Structure formats: structure tokens, C-alpha cells
Amino acid sequence: MGFKIELGGFQTLIQDRGRVGYGQYGVSGCGAMDEYAHRVGNILVGNDENEASLEVLMIGPTIKFDKYTQIAITGADLGANLNGKKIDIWRSYEINPGDILSFKGAKSGVRAYISIAGGIDVPIVMGSKSTYTRGKIGGFKGRALKKDDYISTFFEARD
């Protein structure tokens, strides 16, 4: 179980802290552009600070969750809304099945991070879950998320 992308936004990628040691083969390190925001988001939801999160560029996605979880949004203020109501950044929120996260657009900054409790279930490629779009590796199918993509998560539902 996890979440479905209803709208992909401008560019939404799965990023962790990046891969190291593959530059000699032409593979970029990738990883979160704002490492601080990425790490704090993971801490807010109880993840290891290296866990992958969604890196959102300027215009955020619309996401429908299908199970209970917890999220945090850090970094840029892109006008986050949960079920149509404005929510704050730099804090965590409980998510229930059917909840919809959306964004109005950039208010300050350009990159936001959506951290999800338990982590994102995508393969580790060369030591990282980060998306390298040019090489079409990592993340979700090596590309930005788009409408109808379904992303699994590791969070265990509460009793």
C-alpha cells in the first residue's frame, strides 16, 4: 500500500542523499538538492535521515494516500494543502486513507521535500534510491512521477 499520483506537478522525483563512487562511469551522484530540508523531513516522520523522499520542484504534485501514514513537508513553501485546507511546512501530519495532498504553487523557494514515514519502496540502484533522469535509473522507473503512478511505502498501519 502507498499512494497514487493524481497530478505529477512540474517535476517530482524520488531522492535520497545520493549515490557515491560512480562518476567515473558517467553516473551522477544525484540526491536531494537541499540536503538539510531532506534530512529534517525524515527526522520529523521518524525515518533514518538518509531515507528517500519526494523532491518537488516549484509546482507540487497531487497525491492520494490509500493508507494511514505520517508525512512532513520541508524546504520551499509551495502552498501545501491537505484535503483542501492549508497546512504548514516544517512539521509532520497524520494521513488517513483517502486523504489528498496538493499544492497551490511556489510562495517562497523552489524545492520542497515530502517525507513519508517508513520510507518509499523503490529499488536501491548503485547504493541509492535517487532518481537520475538522464541515465533513466533509480527512483521510480528512472523518471519524474506522473499521473497514475502508484508508489508503495513501508509504513505499517496502526491497529
At 54 the three-state DSSP class reads strand
Q: What Cα–Cα distance (Å) separates residue 151 from each residue in 6, 63, 91, 121, 138?
A: 12, 10, 22, 7, 13
Count of alpha carbons within 13 angstroms of residue 21, beta-carbon side: 4
In which band, very low, low, confident or very high, does the pLDDT at 156 lie, cut at 50, 70 and 90? low
Question: What pLDDT is stored for residue 23 in this prediction?
Answer: 80
Give the separation between CA 72 and CA 52, rounded to whole angstroms: 13
∠ CA 58-61-64, nearest 5°, is 160
User: Would you state the torsion angle of the CA atoms of residues 148, 56, 125, 26, taken in this order, to the nearest 10 degrees?
Assistant: 120
Q: pLDDT tens digits for 111-122?
A: 999 999 999 999
Strand partners, 13: 55
Q: Is the pLDDT of residue 130 over 60?
A: yes
| Residue 27 pLDDT greater than 90, yes or no | no
Helix spans in the chain (H): 35-44
Buried-state track 132-153, b at ≥16 Cβ within 10 A, e below 16? beebebbbbeebbbeeebebeb
Which grid coordinates belong to 78?
509551495
pLDDT score, position 159: 45
For residue 130 the three cell numbers come to 535517487
Length of the chain: 159
What would the pLDDT profile of 28-38 be if each residue is shown by its tens digit?
Answer: 788 999 999 99
- Statement: the pTM of the whole predicted model exceeds 0.85: yes
